Amino acid sequence: MKNIITYSCLLLLVLSSCKTRKNTVLKTNAASSKPKYTAESYIDRFKDIARAEMKTHGIPASIKLAQALLESGSGNSDLAMQANNHFGIKCNIGWKGKSILKDDDEKDECFRVYDQPEDSFKDHSEFLKKKRYEALFKIDKMDYVSWARGLKEAGYATNPKYPELLIGIIERYQLQRFDEKNYAWDRVRSTDEQPVLIKDEVQNEPVTKPVAGLKIYEVKSGDTLYSIAVRFGISVLDLKSINKLNQETVYIGQLLIVSK
């Protein structure tokens, strides 16, 4: 009888704790599927939604794409692949959707989960409507440099090199072309299977040296933190510190700072 009472109490405790959590918590330790994107294929995939959001909300498409590339590892991070969260937006007060727990600055932090990647791009626009970011919308939409610096000043990221990172990514992949009102969209040639994108020429050097001498490297197949560190003459600890990495894993298509 005593065992039955004990079991019943435990069951009630578990049920009550589940009810107090409004969000659905997903597994974070499941093995991720193979990377889907390179940086360029990621840009091809999401440039349309970035331009649409620019038209609706006034956020430069170049800035949105650069942030997404950086935050999601070109769409190959666990958070992007498991939760369709491409901007690393956390749950915060008032979030009523599904969530996923993942270590970040602290252990088991709550991140938003979306049904589709495009939902993440749209929510990013809503996120930037907060009062702390209102000064950004006084900046010319064509001035991606001031937008990048404004995001840092408004507290979007703690990395002191965040503006240079965004600017470097934009200039490496010429993302500013998507900000132009009369941008000539990539032509699409239909096939029986799926559309084939005929892309514009895009610079694709292994390493880019953007603003302030900051070097950015796109992770390739077979790369490890150690091999990248050796290649660019820095320590693994410095590589992790510069890029705010809290794990040893890197993803194909991930963009890393490789200079101090």
Summarize pLDDT for 158-201 with one digit per residue, the tens.
Answer: 888 899 999 999 999 999 999 997 665 443 332 333 333 323 33
Provide the pLDDT for residue 3: 52
Token couple for 213: 């001498």
> What is the average pLDDT across 22-49?
71
- In the predicted structure, residue 30 carries a pLDDT above the cut 70: no
> What is the average pLDDT across 27-51?
77
Summarize pLDDT for 192-251 with one digit per residue, the tens.
Answer: 333 333 233 334 444 544 444 678 888 888 899 999 999 989 999 988 888 878 778 887
Token couple for 80: 């992007």
The third-level CATH classification (topology) of the domain covering 27-201 is: Lysozyme (1.10.530)
According to DSSP, the β-strands at 187-189 and 196-198 are: antiparallel
Q: How many CB atoms lie within 10 A of CB 144?
A: 22
Mean of the per-residue pLDDT values of the chain: 79
Confidence of residue 34 (pLDDT cuts 50, 70, 90): low
Cross-strand bridge partners of residue 256: 217
Closest Cα partner for 100 from 75, 119, 118, 81?
81
In the chain, % of residues over pLDDT 70: 74
* Distance separating alpha carbons of residues 140 and 56, to the nearest angstrom: 15
* Distance separating alpha carbons of residues 152 and 201, to the nearest angstrom: 31
* Distance separating alpha carbons of residues 76 and 32, to the nearest angstrom: 9
List the chain domain ranges.
Answer: 27-201
Provide the pLDDT for residue 158: 83
Q: Is 146 exposed, middle or buried (0-12, 13-18, 19+ CB in 10 A)?
A: middle
What's the farthest any 2 CA atoms get from each other in the chain?
77
Confidence of residue 258 (pLDDT cuts 50, 70, 90): confident
